[in-house]
Homo-oligomer: A and B are copies of this chain.
Amino acid sequence: MGTEVTRILSEAKRQGRAVLTEIESKEVLKAYGIPVRTGQVATDPESAAEIAGKLGYPVVMKIVSPDIPHKSDVGGVRVNLGSPEAVRSAFIDIVRKARLEKPKADIQGLLIYQMVPEGVELVIGATFSRQFGHAVMFGLGGILVEAAMDVVFRLVPLTREDSLRMIQEIRGRKILGNFRGKPAANVNAVADIIEKLSALVTDHPEILEVDMNPVIASAAGAIVVDARMALGEPKKIADTIYSSEEIVTGMKRIFSPAGIAIIGASGDPSKLGYSTVKNIIDGGYKGKIYPINPKADEILGLKCYRSVHEIPGKVDVAVIVIPAKNVADAVTALGEKGVAGAIVISSGFAEIGNDDLQRELVATATKSRVRILGPNIFGLYYTPANLCATFCTPYTEKGPTALSCQSGGVGMAIIGYSRSNRMGVSAIVGVGNKCDVDEDDLIEFFGQDQNTKVIAMHVEDIKDGVAFVRAAGKISRQKPIIALKAGATALGERAAFSHTGALAGDDRIYSAAFAKAGIVRVSNLEDLLDCARSLGKMPAPKGENVLIVTGAGGLGVLLADACSKHQLELMQLEKDLDQAFRKFIPPFGATGNPVDITGGEPPETYEATIRLALEDDRIDALILGYWHTLITPPMAFAETVIRAKKAAESVKAPKPIVASLSGDVEVERAASLLETHGVPAFAYSSEKAVVVLGALYRWARMAGRIRPRS
C-alpha cells in the first residue's frame, strides 16, 4: 500500500504542492484501507447531469481545485441535487461564484457523488507538532467541529484500544449509541479508521495534516465523505544526546554525590554563596563539602579551595553561584575534574534575554560532558542523601514524593506547602531555564529511585517531547506522575490549514502527550500539591468500586457530587453487602452508597462499617466523611480509622482510603494524624479527598492496574 501513497506524495512534491486534492487525499486513504466515498469529475454541465444520472439522485457536487482548500467558503459545495436540471444549474452557479472569489484558481471540474446514507457526522484528522510528532484527532464533525469543539487528540501510534477509548472520551459520545430509535453507529468501523490513519502518518510522516470531515458513521459502517491533506517536513525537536543509562548514571552522582563543590562559596552571610554552603551543612549532608573561592581560606569552618583542580578527592557535583559570564569557564574546569553535573543557581541567562550566554553554556557543557541543572534555579533537595544544595532554607522531611518545577515562584510554594503540611519528599528540584537537564532526565532518575514513589511536576513547556513521552510512558507504569502544565489558555487556537490543526492548540497536544505518557494532568497548583502529598501514601486500587461511608448525610451528598465530577464510580451495593452495613447503622440511616451511618453514632459504628468496607473484596476504595460530634470527637475518629485500617490490613490487601473531615478546628489535628498513617485527609472540604483519589484512579487506569469489568 505504501507504493501508491509514495507515488501520490512524490507527484505532489514534484509539482511543488503542499496540499493534496480531495481525490489524491482519498486515494491515499484508500491505500490504507480506509473507506472513502468517491465520485466522478465532470467538466461541463451536460457531463455532470450524465454522471449524476449514472450514480443516482440525489447527488452532491463539489468544486475540484488545488487552489481552493475551503470549498464551502466560495460556495463550492451543493448538496441534495435531485434532478438533471438542478445539477446543470448548480454546475454553472458554482463555477461562476468560484471565478468571482478566486479568479486565479485552477478549477479542474466538479466532483459528483451520490448522497451518503443518513448517519452521524464525525471528524477524524491528524496534525503534527515539532515537540510531539503526529497526533490523531477524533470528534463530532460537520459544522460542529468548531462550534462544539468536542474533540480529543492522541499521539500516534494508536492501538485499537486507544482508538476505542478516544471515541468514549468525547462529551457527545451518546450520539453514536442507540437512542431515539436510531440504531447505534458501528464504533469498530470508526476505530478502524482512527487506527489506520495513525498507521498512515506513522509510515508517511511527511503528511503533516489530515482532515476527514465529515466521516459518516451509521450502523452499516463508517465512510469518509471529504478529505484533505497537507505535506511538509516532519522536523521534530529531539536533542537528547545521552542514553538512558548515561542519564541515570549522571543523575545518581548529582543527587547522591560523594563530594560536592560550591563554586562561588562565600563567608559573607548576605551572599547566596554563603547560604548555599550553610544549607548543605545544616541539611545534614554526610559527604565531602568543598567551598571554592580564590579569596578565602576557610568558609563556615570548611577548608576553601581556589579552584576545583585543587580539590584532592572526588567531586560528583558542583553548585554554581557566580556571575553568569563566568559560568561557562567554571563548567570547563568541572569537565576537566570529571564532575558529573552542575547545579547552576546563577541567573542572568535566557530569562533576561541573554540567549547567547546560555547557548555558550550549553555548548561548553556538551563538550565537557557535564550535565547542567538550570541555570536560574533555587537548587536541588534530595532527602535520601540529606542534600540541600540550595540558597533557600533547608527542608529535610523525608518521604516518597519527588517534585520538580520550572518556575522559581512555584518552587517556593512547594517548599512552603511542604513545610506547612509536613509533606515528606524525596526531592525538590528547580529546572529553571532547563538548558540541559529537563523533565525526561528527572523522570529517568526518579523512575529507578527506590526512595521515590510519586513524581509531581510543574511544567511550562516541554523541549524534547519525544524523549519526555518515552521516559514518562515507561516510568508511569510503575509510579504515578502528576503534571501541572501552565499556559493552558494562553495561546488560544492557531491559524492552520486544517480543522484538526486549528483545534490542536498547544494545550490539546500537551493533553494528548500526557495521555500517551500515562501522566495525570491537574489544572492548578493546589491540586498538584495535594496529589503530590497524597498519592505516595496509597496503594493502587484494583477495581472501580468506590464506597463512601459518612457520618454526615449532607457531606455524603457533596462527596458523591465530587465523585461524579472526578469520574469515580459509586458502586451499587449487592443486597447482602447492603444488609451487612445495615446491621451497624440506625434504621433511618441512608441505604446504598453513600453509606450514611448518621451523626449520632459512636466510634464503634465507624469502626465496624470501615472494617466491613476494607475486608469485603468487592469494594476497591473508600471515601470517609466525618462529622464532628460529642460522641465521636475528631481524634477518636482518627484513631478509629487507623485501628480499623490496621486490623483489615492484617487479613486483606490494603486499599486506598481518603477522608473528608467536617468539624471544629480539632479536625485539623485529626487530619494530620490520619495523614501520618497513610490516609490522605482534608478538613473543611468536600472535594479535595475526591480530587486525590480521582487522580490515583486516573493513574491506575492508565497504568493498567484496574481489573477489567466482568
**Could you tell me which A residues sit within 8 Å of B by CB distance?**
57-58, 70, 72-75, 80, 82-83, 120, 140, 143-144, 146-150, 171-175, 179-182, 347, 351-353, 392-393, 405-410, 412-413, 415-417, 419-420, 458, 460, 484, 486-490, 523-526, 529, 550-555, 557-558, 560-562, 564-565, 586-588, 599-600, 625, 627-628, 662-668, 683-688
CB distance from A624 to the nearest CB of B (A): 12
Known: A351-B588, A526-B687, A664-B416. A557 touches B175 (CB 8 A): no
Contact B554 A460 (CB under 8 A): yes
Q: Which residues of chain B have C-beta atoms less than 8 A from A684's C-beta?
A: 413, 416-417, 420, 525-526, 529
Q: Which residues of chain B have C-beta atoms less than 8 A from A83's C-beta?
A: 82
Q: Which residues of chain B have C-beta atoms less than 8 A from A80's C-beta?
A: 58, 80
A561 to B408, CA, bound (A): 18
15 pairs from A and B in contact (CB 8 Å cutoff): A74-B181, A75-B181, A147-B174, A148-B172, A408-B599, A409-B551, A409-B625, A413-B555, A416-B663, A416-B664, A420-B684, A460-B557, A486-B561, A490-B560, A526-B688
Q: Which residues of chain B have C-beta atoms less than 8 A from A525's C-beta?
A: 555, 558, 662, 684-687
Contact A524 B180 (CB under 8 A): no
Contact A662 B410 (CB under 8 A): yes
Q: Which residues of chain B have C-beta atoms less than 8 A from A666's C-beta?
A: 416
Q: Which 8 A-B pairs have the closest CB atoms?
A: A407-B554, A409-B552, A147-B175, A489-B564, A409-B627, A413-B662, A525-B686, A73-B181
A82 to B144, CA, bound (A): 27
Identical chains bound together, number: 2
- For the complex with contacts A57-B82, A147-B174, 20 further pairs of A-B residues with Cβ separation under 8 Å are A72-B182, A120-B143, A146-B174, A148-B150, A149-B171, A351-B588, A352-B587, A353-B587, A353-B588, A407-B552, A408-B627, A412-B663, A412-B664, A416-B665, A417-B683, A484-B558, A486-B558, A526-B684, A526-B686, A526-B688
Known: A147-B174, A172-B148. A409 touches B557 (CB 8 A): no
Contact B180 A72 (CB under 8 A): yes
A74 to B600, CA, bound (A): 55
Contact B73 A180 (CB under 8 A): yes
Q: Which residues of chain B have C-beta atoms less than 8 A from A550's C-beta?
A: 409
Q: Which residues of chain B have C-beta atoms less than 8 A from A558's C-beta?
A: 410, 484, 486, 524-525
CB distance from A216 to the nearest CB of B (A): 13
Known: A524-B562, A564-B489. A413 touches B663 (CB 8 A): yes
A521 to B392, CA, bound (A): 41
Contact B553 A409 (CB under 8 A): yes
